[in-house]
Structure 1
Amino acid sequence: MTPATTALARTARGPAPYLIPALLAVGLTMYGPLLAVTTLSLFDFNLTTQAPQWAGPDNYGDVMSSPEAGTALRNTIAYMVAIIPLSVVAPGLAAIAVWRLGGRLTGFYRTVFFLPVLIPPAVGAVMWQWIFNPVLGITSAPLDLLGAGPVSWLTEPASAFIAVTIVAGWKVFGLSFILFTAGLTSIDADLMAAARLDRAGEWQLLRHIVLPMLRPVTTVVLFATVVFAGPWTFGVIDVLTQGGPAGATSNVYYLLYQLGFGYFDGGPASALSVLITVGFAAVVAVQMRVSSRGEQR
């Protein structure tokens, strides 16, 4: 076989042989466990003592009809919506403000805003647990001055949900801020200068140049908020409220943790994990479809 024939044969094979190791790694680490969990979801078993017994789709019915699952699902959706101001709106506005400010303090502001991302979630939650203390926390004195009295942030359903949202939003604010900052670097300074020469005001620059240029970054951050709001709040819930009071702060991820490692009820836990995977796969599919339509336009 001549060298030309060998090169032609390699070209005909394409990149498929080089993808085999990556495909095997993905199959073993992601699709293999997913298949195993799907199989386990059809059995009733206890992770400590009980041998697996065939249950069929009963585990799915039990999970979907459970009041705890309904509450956890509603809370998960509520977290998705409630965190958006702290993970999308506020970081975007802060990034624009720092970008317009410029000067030597730009790096300082970026460091300050990004610092909470580097704090371990458990450490941050413990810190906020002290802040929310109704007697010793730093929120108690201002509330006393306003005549609101001490607020039991973590023992009342509404305030506990707000507290979890604040802590989770505080944790991801810096990451979103950095993403928006990176998006602002793509804006051509000459374009802004030309618009100013045409007597465009600051509001017009923001509306017609800055915000449209940030649309891809905003889409990514918004999508990440929808998909990861549950995992972001999991650690906060585990440290601050353990899902209480009365399930007011739980979400589907924390319920999964309780079923699997609190009650050791493997069948429903596996069924819930499959439902979570299918649900968020549907969300990703919708987002990809919307993004592809936006690119076609």
Structure 2
Amino acid sequence: MRELRAYLLLAPAAAIFTVFMFYPLAYTVYLSFFDWNMTRPVKKFVGLANYISIFTDQSFGKIMGNTLLYIVLLLVMNFVAPYIFSFVLSFVVKKGKSFFKSAIFLPSVISLVVGTMIFVWLLNPLSGPAASLAKALGLSVPIWSNTQGLVIVVISVITSWKIFGYNFIVVLAGVSSVPLEVVEAARVDKIPTWRIFWNIVVPMSSSTGIYVLILSIVTGMQQVFTPINMVTRGGPDNASTNLVYAVYDQAFGFFKTGTASAYAILIMILFAFLLFLEFKYVEKGVYYEN
């Protein structure tokens, strides 16, 4: 009877997961084996042809490279940088902490669409503030949206600007929980500040850090679609296209539902691989108090 009651209590959550997660995932796997444009009444079974077409596409290598580069940049800006800011604000800055917290968190409540438009204006190579400042210094601002390599960096900055504040607040909570007496004892022993950060603060707040690490990758890859779609549309020559945008482009640009589904499965495999690495090499070193 108690087991039945437990299953009944779990049933609503299980039903929600089935409808909104497991069924869409299973249907995406199913569609990846078909050729369908979302309008034809009949789907044509093609087996692994969609996957083969992806791996043999000349642009696939660039798309995967862009995806991995996005992840690295997002981790630097949304995981490493929040840790440094949190440490400085917790143990170095003495005054104005509330102001800095509010100022850093503010972009998180602003729409990413609005944020993208702000950055497009700021970095306008002809009439934006950055162009005006560069002109005064005798320099010029490149057309970043058409520059290979630079476009990824700028789009990553736009995305990071949006999600940095939330990650910062979460990391700050973890860093602030590090006992102050431990840090003060290290200072008394004249331990360099960088070693206090690396050998004390980071390990003792790693349980929060592992959460932010995963959150940075997942949220960053979700949010990065907006600036790509608004500004570059994946260009120039797929220079800003990643796996997430490739799904949208194949589904709603070329109406290749099977290929889009195959790309979606590749994203799932990539995230599963990253989680495997995280649990195998990172999780075992996490410090959990008590």
Q: Same fold (TM over 0.5)?
A: yes
Aligned ranges for residues 219-230 of structure 1 at < 5 Å? 219-230=210-221
In structure 2, how many angstroms separate the alpha carbons of the residues matched to 1:219 and 1:292?
Answer: 7
Decide which of 224, 233, 246 is 1:242's aligned counterpart: 233
In structure 2, how many angstroms separate the alpha carbons of the residues matched to 1:99 and 1:295?
Answer: 21
The residue aligned with 1:106 is: 97
Aligned ranges for residues 24-63 of structure 1 at < 5 Å? 24-49=15-40, 51-63=42-54
Decide which of 102, 115, 119 is 2:106's aligned counterpart: 115
> Aligned Cα RMSD in Å?
2.4
In structure 1, how many angstroms separate the alpha carbons of the residues matched to 2:208 and 2:4?
Answer: 37
The residue aligned with 1:278 is: 269
Deviations 1:3-36 (A, max 9, x none): xxxxxx52x6573332122112111111111111
2:153 counterpart of 1:139: no
2:252 counterpart of 1:261: yes
Aligned length: 288
Letter in structure 1 aligned against 2:106: L
CA contact (8 A) 1:43 1:52 kept: yes
Aligned ranges for residues 98-247 of structure 1 at < 5 Å? 98-101=89-92, 105-198=96-189, 200=191, 202-247=193-238
Q: Structure 2 unaligned runs (5+)? A: none
Letter in structure 1 aligned against 2:180: A
In structure 1, how many angstroms separate the alpha carbons of the residues matched to 2:270 and 2:71?
Answer: 14
Identity score, percent? 28
Cα 1:55–1:14 change in 2 (3 A) is same
In structure 1, how many angstroms separate the alpha carbons of the residues matched to 2:286 and 2:147?
Answer: 45
Residues 123-132 or 276-285, more deviating: 276-285
CA contact (8 A) 2:210 2:286 kept: no
Cα 1:270–1:205 change in 2 (3 A) is closer
CA contact (8 A) 1:187 1:210 kept: yes
CA contact (8 A) 2:204 2:287 kept: no
In structure 1, how many angstroms separate the alpha carbons of the residues matched to 2:40 and 2:148?
Answer: 35
Superposition TM-score, scaled by structure 1 size: 0.87
**What is the DSSP-based 3-state SS (H/G/I as helix, E as strand, rest coil) of the residue aligned with 1:15?**
helix
Query: By how many angstroms is 1:244 displaced?
Result: 0.8
In structure 2, how many angstroms separate the alpha carbons of the residues matched to 1:211 and 1:57?
Answer: 45
Deviations 1:132-165 (A, max 9, x none): 1111111112222343323212122232222112
Larger Rg: 1
> Runs ≥4 in structure 1, deviation > 6 angstroms?
none
Query: By how many angstroms is 1:177 displaced?
Result: 1.1
The residue aligned with 2:73 is: 82
2:60 counterpart of 1:91: no
In structure 2, how many angstroms separate the alpha carbons of the residues matched to 1:13 and 1:77?
Answer: 46
